[in-house]
Chains A and B, each alone.
Chain A
């Protein structure tokens, strides 16, 4: 039996110790903001924080989590008020949005370590996070906005009302 925390909530696990955290989060406790992209630690879509550090949840076996504290996008801020999320909205960074939760988790970890990252710091920290839509330019801008090293250009505010989701309702 492994005990650990996810977004501050105590959890127990006694399944396959080799199961990646990714599938535990998605299939077992239904925290689906963490995405599958490659299963090999190559794309960063599944990035979460373990004890504050950004890790690939597809490469993190459940047995490695004993006593640790996991933060997912749902725990970063459920209301989207974390500075990185705010900056993301301000520059309207996402296109399809699929990789963006991983990008945001990676960027949040970067800013905790380096509150004023240079371009080289950003490239180095974010190079493991793929985006096929090609939103990199706005990701870089959003990180700078969150770090207060660049004011955001005027972009539309987020929709003020509850969104209607796709078909899964």
Chain B
């Protein structure tokens, strides 16, 4: 790297990211943190920032630092930069980043890739565009105002033009404009933003050439499968590996360190069978004879735990939101309605199980894995091996689904530990049974809701109580109540205009690993809150859409207790929620639909990940209680849409994902261990069970882009059960629905 580049990059970054939202510059990092290999972008003739390189032949190299698990983010976010750069997408090459803090957060989770990086990527592209224009103007000796960037060229008013490749070296010597002088494109000038762009990996995917975590390999690598304690936190008592070692292809049996709290992302421990093939490792593992000491979670039983949670929510608990005085209002008597709801544990079950390949050598480890968060891999592996995280080089493959599971890198630490122990590259493969039995489960939850109704059937007081084991318990064993981020997902931010409202949360101890799963706490909160709203509408014998709009009250920004720039940028604006309810009703032809026995429509609207979603679901229940979903209409206001096709596909997917949670998925524990093991007993929706046709209606918006991957899930659950009530008169208060309609 020559001096000019270094100076320019520093100047550039100083101008661009002076707000310091995240550290971008490799050169701003301490010298010893530069162990990571250079990207192609960094080696290019001009490397204005960590995401971008321009070669003298005009090739634009874009580094994609977020993980690809089906949202399209690998090409969607770079397209934002390319748009502002006014680059020709055909001349763009993408490069997947390794884990490195210089990129800012790489945690592809929480529906935040676009939300957190849209502005920065636009500024990064626009800054480079300004410098290319300045370089051309200098070469021609004309004012920059007479030049403009146009599809990979800078063009002068006289008609002469220079390509980006020809300008790269000269642009590198330009001073970066201050952020204040940066001219971003107007929406009318967008070339890629708002357009259905090609999906980067589709050719590889349909030909089987895409490299997923399970396809990663290293020369000389051995295969490992690990037997883990069936009870969470259990300890290895004894192991007899004689028969396992006799299996052809098995090389060795080794023990992993015992897990100690706080568990976080640490590997679970256990006994690993090392073999020369996946099959031999699996066969060998089946022959292990292990005794475990189950420990403190040995009595975990889902049926008993459910009763415990229900008892908790039947008693007053700590208020997380308190408006007016619900108690005084309830004391007035009159019409009161109460209901209890329950949602079980769920497993992520991405189609690709957790898999990692690691090679530890000379104090450094190189990893190839499907991860949503390569920086968490660095931290977790560094802690497990006792090395500095700069010595953890994590390459990110395509992910065969994630849904939150692959942001928890316990499986990667397993591979790294084994590689260090064995002195050779190791691939750890989780079987589907491992995946189902040792997940970070979506929390089981119980809820109690109570309302006092006026003579028109509108609530004058609304009390809601929930109890669920918190994700926080993974990181601090003392955390036995819902954390703020969990309660902020559809519990304390009730959008309804009710003068007296209290949202409470009670304690619940975690007996398995608890983790975030696509849309997280919104799953159960939305089910409870929007089922209850539908119950009230039914009691009042009102049209559900009209009642829902009345509950919302006049258009306003709801005070959800959040403060700061994110709260200002993404308010809970009930006008936007109202619009999606109206849009879903309009597009589904709600007003003209008449429920008949076994055939009806249901609606629910929910705000999550700063997006406003309303879903209308049509259901048919036959005489035998079999449920079908012919159509779903989802109206979504997600702010500005970057790639409409990929946004649409996320909502189509959320429709199926949500329907599966409502209809069939359930994880239970007995004697401390998880009962389910594979897709025969952990049910997820198949083609004939999924909604047949999901229509997605996107609100045309200039608001900042909000979340897309997750917010389609929560409203599906209550929309389905609300439709079932309309069709059958049966109110489903417990998920999954499964046999409740028979």
List chain A positions with a Cβ less than 8 A from chain B.
16, 19-20, 23, 26-28, 30-40, 42-43, 45, 72-74, 77-80, 85, 88-89, 92, 94-101, 104, 122-124, 126-140, 155-161, 163-169
**Which applies to chain A's interface (DSSP): helix, strand, loop or mixed?**
loop
A40-B432, A80-B203, A89-B203 in contact; A156/B198 too (CB < 8 A)? yes
What residues of chain A lie closer than 8 Å to B95, measured between beta carbons? 164
Minimum CB–CB distance for A50 against chain B, Å: 17
Identify the interface centre among A88, A89, A128, A156: most chain B CB within 10 Å of its CB: A156
Which residues of chain A have C-beta atoms less than 8 A from B655's C-beta? 134
Q: A32-B215, A133-B653 are in contact. Are A98 and B94 (CB under 8 A)?
A: no
CA A133 to CA B680, docked complex, whole Å:
19
Contacts of A139 in B (CB 8 A): 687
* In contact, B656 and A96 (Cβ under 8 angstroms): no
Nearest B residue to A122 by beta-carbon distance?
B687
4 extra A-B contacts, CB within 8 A, seeds A33-B207, A133-B653: A95-B649, A131-B687, A134-B685, A166-B96
Q: Give chain B's interface residues, CB within 8 Å of chain A.
A: 68-72, 75, 90, 93-96, 98, 196-212, 214-217, 223, 248-249, 277-280, 282-283, 349-353, 368-369, 394-403, 429, 431-432, 645, 649-650, 652-657, 660, 678-680, 684-688, 690-694
CB contacts (< 8 Å) of A127 on chain B: these are: 686-688
Residue of A nearest to B395 (CB): A167
Of all chain B residues, the one with the shortest Cβ separation from A165 is B211
Chain A residues closer than 8 Å to B369, beta-carbon distance? 167
Which A residues are in CB contact (< 8 Å) with B402? 96
Min Cβ gap A34→B in Å is 7
Partner of B397, one of A33, A45, A159, A168: A168
Picked from B395, B649, B680, the residue with its CB within 8 Å of the CB of A40 is B680
Minimum distance in angstroms from A33 CB to a CB of chain B: 2
Q: Which residues of A contact B431 (CB under 8 A)?
A: 39
Known: A129-B687, A156-B197, A159-B198. A97 touches B400 (CB 8 A): yes
From the candidates B98, B200, B205, name the one contacting A167 in the complex (CB within 8 A).
Answer: B98
Closest CB-CB distance, A141 to chain B, in whole Å? 10
Question: Across the interface, which residues of B come within 8 angstroms of A104, CB to CB?
Answer: 206
B692 CB contact (under 8 Å) in A19, A134, A137: A137
Question: What are the residues of chain B within 8 A of A27 when measuring CB–CB?
Answer: 223, 277-279
Residue from B70, B680, B688 within 8 A of A94 (CB atoms): B70
In the assembly, what is the distance between CA of A155 and CA of B75, in Å?
16
A168 to B219, CA, bound (A): 12
CB contact under 8 A between A101 and B208, given known A92-B199, A137-B693, A168-B215: yes
Compute how far the CA of A28 lies from the CA of B686 in the bound complex, rounded to whole angstroms.
31
Contact of A89 among B196, B202, B660 (CB under 8 A): B202
Between-chain CB contacts (< 8 Å), 8 pairs: A27-B223, A79-B207, A94-B205, A96-B402, A136-B656, A139-B687, A156-B196, A167-B211
Q: Is A42 touching B208 in the complex (CB atoms < 8 A)?
A: no
Interface pair A134/B211, CB less than 8 Å apart: no
Contact indicator B396/A98 (Cβ below 8 Å): no
The docked-state distance in angstroms from the alpha carbon of A146 to that of B612 is: 36
Q: In whole angstroms, what is the CA distance A26 to B429 when docked?
A: 13
| Bound form: Cα–Cα A104–B206 in Å | 8
B649 touches A98 (CB 8 A): no
Q: Which residues of A contact B657 (CB under 8 A)?
A: 132-134
A42 to B: closest C-beta gap in Å: 4
**CA distance in complex: A27, B70 (Å):** 25
Closest CB in chain B relative to A96 CB, distance in Å: 3
Partner of B684, one of A26, A30, A132: A132
**CA A28 to CA B349, docked complex, whole Å:** 27
Are A134 and B652 interface neighbours, CB within 8 A?
Answer: yes
Complex Cα spacing A101 to B95, Å: 24
Of A23, A85, A138, A169, the contact of B207 (CB 8 Å cutoff): A85
Contact B690 A134 (CB under 8 A): yes
Of A35, A133, A137, the most chain B CB neighbours within 10 A belong to A133
A95 to B72 alpha-carbon distance, docked (Å): 7
The 6 closest A-B pairs by CB, nearest first: A33-B208, A167-B395, A134-B656, A98-B400, A95-B70, A96-B70
